[in-house]
Structure formats: structure tokens, C-alpha cells
Amino acid sequence: MSVAGETATAARAPTRRQAWGIAAFFAAAVLAWMLFSVWPDWLNAVLISKKAFFSSIFNGITLAGLYFLVASGFTLVFGLMRNVNLAHGSLYLLGAYLGYEVTRLTGYWLIGVAAGFAALAVLGLLMQVLVFRRLEGDDLRQTLVTIGISIVAADLMLWMWTGATYQIATPTWLDGAVRLPIVTAYRSNGEAVFLSYPFYRLVVLAAAVVIGVGLWLLLNRTRVGMMIRAGVDDRAMLAASGVNVHAVFAVVFAIGAGLAGFAGVVGGSALSVAPGEDIRYLLASLVVVIVGGMGSITGAAIGALLIGLAEQIGLVYFPTYGIVLTFVIMVATLAIRPQGIMGQGTAGRAR
């Protein structure tokens, strides 16, 4: 993360960067052509249809937005506290249930979203202060505790909300589909057929981008963010320089848990809320964070994009082996870059 490191790599390898630039240019050109042309038959034959292809791409990106929201909290908490919060999926599901209840009671979806974030942030704060602070420095026990919490939480949620599937009602201004300026085909009378896409999913994507940028600004442009970054690099040193590390931990845990709750409400509106979703999003967060690199928000974004796209493309093109694609990405990352795409490696983090 140091500035000196960045300039050194930039000065050392300009040719490599140029090569990547050219590759990226070509990829963008191909993508642009695919986006705006009407596909020839052979391409339709390979990729089923333009509509199927771009729908899966857009679905993948939207799902990536959701995964990013969940995983960013997970990666922040892990990066700072070395706490593998295996109850993170439970936080997501609880946020979704609470959002459902609040939306149902008040009738306002936005209040539901806010409640999901706020309630889980408070819960995260409590968990950090009451539970994890007592076990500080013992990674394994902290992780075991989160497993215990997730078991109890899953069971209690099953008790409260039974095994039924819920769908959080979205307001009318979020319903409907938008027509994207992408022509999938021409009718026989020469009229263009445009790709349409649910408006709500675009909103999810936009929310993820806004929150991602917000987190980036928080981490890189504020004093608290500076403390958090310092804590990720060297916790002991941060404490030695007079910062109340526990307060920083509590803030980060609250943000992480709150984001999980937020993602729960947003995801519960786009998809559905049911028992078992906690495991699904926990797995997604794990893989995203392993692929992207622990403790890195940018890494979480890249990982989420990869996994979201892989999952949706896999769903369309090889349904029974979709999960394998996700898994292959994880294994390949571990084989080539064990610390994750944006991870710093263990050497950089002397502890």
C-alpha cells in the first residue's frame, strides 16, 4: 500500500503495463463490437443468443454488486482484526428478515433498508464489545465463537421466521424494466429489439458502486480511514502511537455488520429471503475475499465481479457445473497468487 512501492513498480515495468494496456484495449474493442453489433449466426450458435449472453453478464454484474456489499464488510473486519467472522452470513440473513419486517410494518422500503443497516451495525458493535474483545489475539477461538453464533442465530431465525420464503416488497418507483440501448435483434419489419433489464437490479448495482466509492473515500481520505489502514498494516504500532484501537475495531465491526444487514435488505428485495441464504452468502464472501485478497476493498470489488460473473455465466452455459467454475477461480488464484489478487501477502504484514 505504500506510495514508494507503487512508483517503483511503475518505473520498473512500463513495457508490461503497455502490454496490459494493449490487451485491455483489444478486449474493450471486442466487447464494444459484441455490445453494439447484431450478432452473426455463428456467435449466436456458440453463446445461445445475444440476449442470453448479455442478460447473464448484467445479472452477473448485479450479483457482483450484492456480493461486494456483503464481502466488503467481511474483508474489512478480517483485514483489521484477523477475525474470520463466519457469522457474517447470519448477519446478512438477519438484516434481510429485519428489513422485511420493518418494510411490512411501516410500508416504506427505504426505512426497511435503513433499519437493516442500523440494527445490524448496533448488533455488530455489541458483538465486538461483548464477545470478540475478550478473545483478542486468539484467532482460532474467535472463529470458533463466530461458528457457534452462526449456529444459534440460524436456529433462532428459523424459529422466528420459520422455513418460509419471503420477498421484501419494493416500492413502485423501483419496479419495472428499463430498455437498454443494446440491440439484440431486428424484427422482419426492420424494427430493432432492445434488451430490457429490471430497473431495481440497476439500482442495486448503483448502490454497490456508490458504497464502494464511499468506502474507498472513507478509507483513503479520512482520519478514521487512515487509522483503519494503519491498523491493517500493523495493529500494535497503531496502538503504540496513542490511538484507541478498540474504538477503531468497534467502528469497523459496526460498519462491516451494517453493510451485511444493508446487503440483506437489498438482496432480499432482489431475490428472496429464506433459511440457507446465510450459508450461500457466507460462501460467496469467503470465495470473494480469498480471490480478491484479505483486507482489501478493491480486492473485494474485483473478486465479487469475478465470482458474480462466473456464477451467472455458469448458470446459463453449464448449469450443473456452475459451482465448479467459481471453485476453479478460487483454486487458480490460490495457486498463482495465494494472498489473493490485491492481497499484500504475509511478509508485508509483520506480526
Partner 1 sequence: MSLALSSSDPAARPAAAVGGTGAAHVVLAALLLLYPAVASDFFLTQIGAYSLILGMIALSLMLLAGYGGMVSLAQISVAGMAGYTVAIFGLNSSAVHGFGWPWWIVVPMAVAVGGVVSALIGAISTRTEGIYTIMITLAVATAIFYFTQQNYALFNGFPGFAGIRAPEFWGVAWRDPLPFYYLTLAVAALAYAAVLYARRSTFGLALQAIRDNPRRMRAIGFDVTAHKVVAWFYAGLIAGLAGVLLVWFNGRISPGTINVGAAINILIIAVIGGMRHPIGPFLGAVVVVLMQTFAIDIIGAERFNTLIGLFFLVIVFASPDGLLGLWGRLKPRLASPSLGAGQDGGGHRAANLASNAEQTGRREE
Q: Footprint of partner 1 on this chain (CB under 8 A)?
A: 82, 84, 86, 134, 137-141, 143-145, 147-149, 151-152, 154-156, 159, 279, 282-283, 286-287, 289-290, 294, 319-324, 326-327, 330-331, 334-335, 338-339, 346
| Shortest Cβ 156–partner 1 spacing (Å) | 6
Compare residues 21 and 338 and give the one whose CB is closer to partner 1: 338
| Shortest Cβ 168–partner 1 spacing (Å) | 25
State the sign of the Cα–Cα–Cα–Cα dihedral 326, 331, 335, 338. positive
| Shortest Cβ 33–partner 1 spacing (Å) | 34
Compare residues 103 and 326 and give the one whose CB is closer to partner 1: 326
Compare residues 79 and 116 and give the one whose CB is closer to partner 1: 79
Closest CA to 211 of 170, 250, 173, 256: 256
Compare residues 86 and 205 and give the one whose CB is closer to partner 1: 86
| Shortest Cβ 83–partner 1 spacing (Å) | 9
Cell triple for 274: 429464506
Compare residues 18 and 346 and give the one whose CB is closer to partner 1: 346
Tell me the CA distances in angstroms from 48 to 51, 68, 145, 168, 323, one per residue in order. Answer: 8, 29, 47, 33, 20
User: Could you tell me if 125 and 253 are in contact, meaning their C-beta atoms sit under 8 angstroms apart?
Assistant: yes
Beta bridge pairs of residue 186: 192
SS3 295: coil
What distance in Å separates the CA atoms of residue 318 and residue 316, rounded to the nearest whole number? 6
**Which letter, b or e, does each residue of 88-97 get, where b requires 16 or more Cβ atoms within 10 Å of its Cβ?**
bbbbbbbbbb
| Shortest Cβ 149–partner 1 spacing (Å) | 7
